[in-house]
Each structure stands twice: as C-alpha cells, then as structure tokens.
Chains A and B, each alone.
Chain A
Amino acid sequence: MPVKGRIVVDDVFCKGCELCASVCPQKVIQMAPERITAKGYHPAELFKDGCTGCAVCAVICPEAAITVYREAPRARVAAEA
C-alpha cells in the first residue's frame, strides 16, 4: 500500500501561484476554485486522495505555506508509543 500523506496550506501565505500543483507527482493539488484568501488569491488545496507526503510541493513553495504530514511507518509508531 502506498504511503499516505496530506498537506495543509496556510491561506495567510498562499498566493495561488500554482507552482506546487505543477510539480506534484500525484497531481492531487489544485487552486481552490470557490475559495479566495484575504489577499484575493485562490489558495492551493488537496482535491483528491493520493498524496504520499513526498513534500515536493513544499520544496518549490515560495511562501513556505505548506506543511506536509506523512503517516509514520507502523514500526516507528509502535516504538514511539
């Protein structure tokens, strides 16, 4: 089973430049069509399943607006618990 991840985009910083969507290997990021930020941009969002938490979007994000989470491997969860 592929690794599961998710991203959280901070609308305060996101300017909807679409660079994250252009590099996402899974193509699961879009600019939210029906939502705008305080600055008037359509922010990035996950729009379907498939994020692996690879963090390539965060590597190219010029605003450091993306926080990336990834499901921990089971062994590590057990070890930490």
Chain B
Amino acid sequence: MATLQANEQVVYQRPRALTEVNTHYCPGCTHGVAHRLVAEVLDEMGLQDRTVGVACVGCSVFAYNYFDIDWVQAPHGRAPAVATGVKRSLPHDSIVFTYQGDGDLASIGTAEIIHAAARGENITVIYINNANYGMTGGQMAPTTLPGQKTTSSQTGRDVELQGYPIRAAELLANLDGASYVVRRSLHDPKNIRMAKKAIQTAFETQVRGLGFSLVELLSICPTNWGMTPVESLGWLNDHMIPYYPIGDFKVISALQKETCASKAEG
C-alpha cells in the first residue's frame, strides 16, 4: 500500500464495506462494479453495521465473501422471499437487500420477485442483467436478446420458438406495491455514476420505509459473450440499451418531492 504524501489527498479508495478478498469474477466483469457501488453507498449512508444481504444463485452467489456485512444465501430465485422474512422479523433494525442476476430474478424467481413487489415489501433489489446465464456457461436466459447467439441458441434466439426477452423493470413498475423501479447501465463512467445515484435512492427508499425498490443494472459477460471486456462495453451500448432502455419506470411521489427538494437545496 502506498502512503499518502504531504501535499496529497485521497480522491478514491477501496470502500470499507468490501472485504479484502479477490473476487472469482472473470476480468472485466461488471459484477465487480455493481459490488463496488453497493459498498460505496453502504459506506456513505453508514448502513454497513445493520445491512443484511441476500445472495442469489449464479455467479454472484459468492457475494457473501466479498462484502463485510451479514448475508443469507437463498435457494435459486427465492432471495426476495428470504429477504421478506429477514425484513419482517427485524423491520426497524435491518436494511435488507437482495443481489440477483437475470437467471435468478427473471427466470426461476419470477414469482417471488413479482409477489414481493406486489406486497410492497420494504426491501431493495439489485438486479444484474447480462443477457445470459453466466455461471453455467452462457446459455440463453429470459433476457437474451432476439437473435443473440448463446451456447443454447447457437443460431441466435428465435422469438417464434423461444419467445421474447423479459423487461423485468417495466414489468415490476406496473405493480402498485413497487415504489422505486429504475434501470441503469454499467458500460461507461457516466452511467456508472448514474447507477450509483439510483442505488443510493433505492436504499433511501428502504431507510424511509417507503417500500419496494429495484435497480436493474445492465452488465457485461465478456467470457460468455466471447469478447474482450472493452468490446463487451460497446456491445452492451449498441445492442442491449436499445432493447432495455435506461430510465425511471416508477418513482413514487414521496421520492420525487425529495429529489426536487434536494435539488433546490443543492
């Protein structure tokens, strides 16, 4: 570790909420960026001591090794159900978030996430969408784009045979129980900063007891896409964003007032 010289200030350093453990993610995987953003938000909001994460099944199952917070590991897709239990048993003392991939949230866990949102559970969901099943070797997921080649759709996803991708954020935004549902991308520094703000608002939603919040993060999967990390960022921008537009799909009025007020103060 380099030491600080007399006339210097630290502009950026590793967040405290991350452990000093090397992740198992492939080089360039934006799971790491998402982890870092969540950790930075927990640091800045001072929530590290009372946060409980619920890990999903997928590449991010080992998230419990990488954050210095409490974790529960849920069966595949059941993270929102487990999070519901944790949050309801400790409604005031805990901050509960799930960290789920698209195979977990949009496929096997569709029922759990829809009902958690419909009930308006006061939990936060970080949803990573990388358009395939990363951990098992890049098979077609519900979020795989039409025409996208994966190991289980080798001539490209045929929508007549395999249906259309699920836009989970838009779907959940239709539910009355959901309070804050947005989609952000992790393909360049500007969008990463926007993603961090969204994650912050999502946790604020929970701290203020305003109900269900979800941030969908478009991510890359360089190994399974068969590209370099830098090429993958370009592919995400060119192919995923047209299908999965970045935007706020539901922001309840209590949060909008907050945003306007803070803007006026700032």
Contact = CB atoms under 8 A, between A and B. Distances in A.
Interface of A: 5, 8, 10, 12-13, 15-19, 22-23, 39, 41, 53, 55-56, 58-72, 76-77
A69 B13 CA distance: 9
B189 A18 contact: no
Nearest to B234: A22
Given A56-B189, A59-B189, A67-B14, A72 B9 contact: yes
Given A60-B188, A67-B10, A18 B228 contact: yes
B23 interface: yes
Interface string B1-40: 1101111111111110010101101111111110110010
B14 A17 contact: no
B61 interface: no
Contact of B192 (A59, A70, A72): A59
A10 B1 CA distance: 7
Contacts of A60: 33, 188-189, 192
B58 interface: no
Contacts of A39: 22
A13 B7 CA distance: 27
Q: With a 10 A CB-CB cut-off, give which of B2, B12, B13, B233 has the most chain A CB atoms.
A: B12
B5 to A, nearest CB: 7
Interface string B192-231: 1100000000000000000000000000001000001110
A17 B22 contact: no
Nearest to B228: A18
B32 A62 contact: yes
A68 B29 contact: no
A71 B233 CA distance: 31
A55 B11 contact: yes
Q: With a 10 A CB-CB cut-off, give which of A18, A62, A72, A76 has the most chain B CB atoms.
A: A62
A16 B28 CA distance: 8
B11 A53 contact: yes
Nearest to B6: A77
B36 A71 contact: no
A69 B230 contact: no
Contacts of A64: 14-15, 18, 32, 35-36, 39
